Structure 1
Amino acid sequence: MSSSSIPPPPSAAPPSTGNLLHDSLEAAKNVEKLPCARNSLLTGLAAGTGVAFIRGVSTTPIVAGHWFTFTFVAVAAIAQFVCDKWRPSASK
């Protein structure tokens, strides 16, 4: 079976309406339907909290908040990428 005859897996995201604000809000409401999203967000949250706590001991809360934000986004994005990369696809 050639790869061109395999249909793509169905999207878990809601259909696009063309309105960026509306589409973004609908996607945020349905984040639990995305594979690996929960684990990736919880991993980012835990890592960001740990780094912010450590930085908060020696610096101001604003700087610790910046470290939390950067760490949360970076770790959640990497965790999502790794989970998507290693998750078995539906076509196998």
Structure 2
Amino acid sequence: MQEVVRLIIGVAVLLLGIPIGNYLSKQTKEELKSGQKWFKLIIIISLIGGFAGLITGNDVLLFSFFFIAIVTSRSLKKKGK
């Protein structure tokens, strides 16, 4: 039961990354133009770290890296519009 609650909280925090990423992309338009390659690098590293957390069973690592990947990818997606 405790694992289920942890999982639900983790997914809820990951879903919060979507509006946070949208908000940050609106506030930091100048940084998005010049740092697009760095945003892509952050996304790749975060996805690798997230999958490493999945493989090792480390929930904190998994959710932290996936949160970073979601927030960063939302910023890039907003730039494309």
Normalised by the length of structure 2, the TM-score is 0.39
More helix by share: 2
Higher relative contact order (CA 8 A, sep 6+): 2
TM-score (norm 1): 0.35
| Greater Rg over alpha carbons, structure | 1
